[in-house]
Chain A
Amino acid sequence: MRKFLFGTMTLLAFFPVSAADPYVVDNTHSGVMFSVDHNNIATFFGRFNEFSGTMNYDEANPASSKFDLTIQMESVDSANARRDKHLRSPDFFNTKQFPTASFKTTGVTANADGSLSVTGDFTLAGKTQPITFAMKVRGPVNGRDGAKVRGFFATAVFKRSDFGITYGNPGVGDEVKITASLEAVLK
């Protein structure tokens, strides 16, 4: 028995078990927005209404955290039906062929100010490129039903041309800022 315990503890020492808590994104209190320059004089904002994600957050060791997000691209909403249709077309997101965009974490760095730099593979319009989100984590607090709730606020900037989306450039800027403001509930 002693040998067994010793062996188990040795194994655990070599293969540490992640203490990340799985938080599931609560869509009703979350938003995924994007912004892009228009005519080099203004910033235009749009949003995606349907998305899902899991935030496996390890407070003690943030580097072992994992954040995954999947966006339903058909749900793009720019407050203009014709523009939404154009955004869904092959000129931009090509949503019939590529119905989702996704982000999968490959590495997390904890910064001195308490924020996180979350690097991962972002897949958009059929292409995957690494991007880095600057993320702030808030909470936890107890939700109405007593469940632990955290807030994850993340922003990243990428070039849409890196994903093969070049239509309208330079009238519609190349740099896109994506902001995910997510409230997630511990499961």
Chain B
Amino acid sequence: MQSNQMVVEQLLNTAAYPLLTGAAVSLALGKLTRIPRDAAVAVALLAGFAVGFFAVSGFGEFPPIKVHEWLPYTGLPPLILFLVCSKQGQKVQAIAALVVVALVFWLDFAPITHAFSVPALIAWLIGSAIAWLGLWHVWDRSRDEQPRREFFLLFVVIATGVSLVSVLDGGAVIGQAAGSLAAASGGIFLASLLQPKLEAGSATIAVFLCLFAGLLVNAYHYVEVRPLPVALAYCAGFCVLLLKHGGLREASFIKRTSLTCLAGLLPIIIAVIFLLMNAPVDDYYDY
């Protein structure tokens, strides 16, 4: 009975509350206010994620002591900077991306600088920043004039990937946080069915990718998920490239979304199989 209650509680915290928050906030802001739709979605995404995160981990002190407790706050700089720069040109947005990535990765790496030599730390910071900027560039270039609802489903797939690899390799809190991100994205997708003009603009993409990056860094450096599953979860983010593919560009929403989501799922499935095959068979553990 007690374990059933725990499962229900976990499902509510990790999935239901973020999903409802993402849907409700995006609908309310999109319908009742005059703020840009991208802003409404970005705020809803961050709010949904934060609700799930705090429901699971508790609302601790500020500033947080543990590095993963910074995760909800790492969505604020991209939200603010990209909303401010939304009407600016590509150069200004690129500078905003650099500022955001420097801030987010510094927050993620600062508590474990003692674990690296200076050259290794610099290599990690620069490497992570390049990896993030590469992904951001791909997503930002994939935006179109029309709102792309499929982005929200891709967010669900990608965040679910981080959740699975974290949980399967020993980190429930990070896995649940990634689950909250997936659920919040799912809620916004459902809201977009009612309000089709909700869009994932530059601010939404930047917020999602910052949370995604923070989760991956936590999964690799703090949970110590093995490198291959982390790399595959990261690679899933590039599935958005398919949207630019000539054949899919003009395809129906269902066909375009299904194929792109499948492309995102493929590396995640490989990661999950890798983790299951390499799990110690005689080493049962359910906490």
Residues on the A chain within 8 Å of B193, using CB: none
A50-77 toward B: CB 8 Å interface, digit per residue (1/0)?
A: 0000000000000000000000000000
Chain B residue at minimum C-beta to C-beta distance from A166: B58
Q: Known contacts A126-B66, A127-B65, A168-B287; is A96 also within 8 Å of B112 by CB?
A: yes
The residue that B223 contacts in the complex, of A80, A89, A170, with Cβ under 8 A, is A89
The residue that A170 contacts in the complex, of B2, B172, B280, B283, with Cβ under 8 A, is B2
Contact across chains for B224 and A85 when beta carbons are under 8 A apart:
yes
- B62 on the interface (CB 8 Å rule)? no
B107-127 toward A: CB 8 Å interface, digit per residue (1/0)?
A: 000011011000000000000
Residues on the B chain within 8 Å of A99, using CB: 114
Complex Cα–Cα for A126 and B60 (A):
13
**A125, chain B: closest CB distance, angstroms:** 7
The residue that A94 contacts in the complex, of B6, B172, B222, with Cβ under 8 A, is B222
The residue that A90 contacts in the complex, of B68, B114, B285, with Cβ under 8 A, is B68
Complex Cα–Cα for A97 and B99 (A):
24
- B221 on the interface (CB 8 Å rule)? yes
Complex Cα–Cα for A125 and B69 (A):
13
B1-37 toward A: CB 8 Å interface, digit per residue (1/0)?
A: 0110010000000000000000000000000000000
Total A-B pairs, Cβ < 8 A: 73
- B138 on the interface (CB 8 Å rule)? no
Residues on the B chain within 8 Å of A166, using CB: 57-58
Complex Cα–Cα for A88 and B169 (A):
12
Q: What's the tally of chain B residues with a CB closer than 8 Å to chain A?
A: 30
A151-187 toward B: CB 8 Å interface, digit per residue (1/0)?
A: 0000000000000101110111000000000000000
Residues on the B chain within 8 Å of A138, using CB: none
- B218 on the interface (CB 8 Å rule)? yes
The residues in B between 204 and 255 inclusive whose CB is less than 8 angstroms from any CB of A are 218, 221-224
Contact across chains for B6 and A171 when beta carbons are under 8 A apart:
yes
- A81 on the interface (CB 8 Å rule)? yes
Complex Cα–Cα for A137 and B9 (A):
46
The residue that B170 contacts in the complex, of A86, A127, A171, with Cβ under 8 A, is A86
Residues on the A chain within 8 Å of B285, using CB: 80, 82-83, 86
Chain A residue at minimum C-beta to C-beta distance from B169: A85
Complex Cα–Cα for A168 and B66 (A):
18
The residues in A between 104 and 135 inclusive whose CB is less than 8 angstroms from any CB of B are 125-127
Complex Cα–Cα for A104 and B114 (A):
23
Contact across chains for B222 and A89 when beta carbons are under 8 A apart:
yes
The residue that B287 contacts in the complex, of A81, A83, A96, A125, with Cβ under 8 A, is A83
Chain B residue at minimum C-beta to C-beta distance from A161: B58
Chain B residue at minimum C-beta to C-beta distance from A83: B285
A-B contact pairs, 21 of them (CB 8 A): A80-B285, A81-B283, A82-B170, A82-B283, A83-B287, A86-B170, A86-B171, A89-B224, A90-B68, A90-B218, A97-B66, A97-B111, A99-B114, A125-B66, A127-B65, A164-B65, A166-B58, A168-B287, A170-B2, A171-B287, A172-B287
List 9 tightest A-B contacts by C-beta distance, closest first.
Answer: A82-B285, A126-B65, A85-B170, A97-B111, A89-B171, A89-B223, A83-B285, A86-B170, A96-B222
Extra A-B contacts (11), CB below 8 Å, given A85-B224, A86-B171: A86-B172, A89-B224, A90-B67, A90-B223, A94-B66, A97-B222, A125-B66, A126-B66, A127-B65, A166-B58, A171-B287
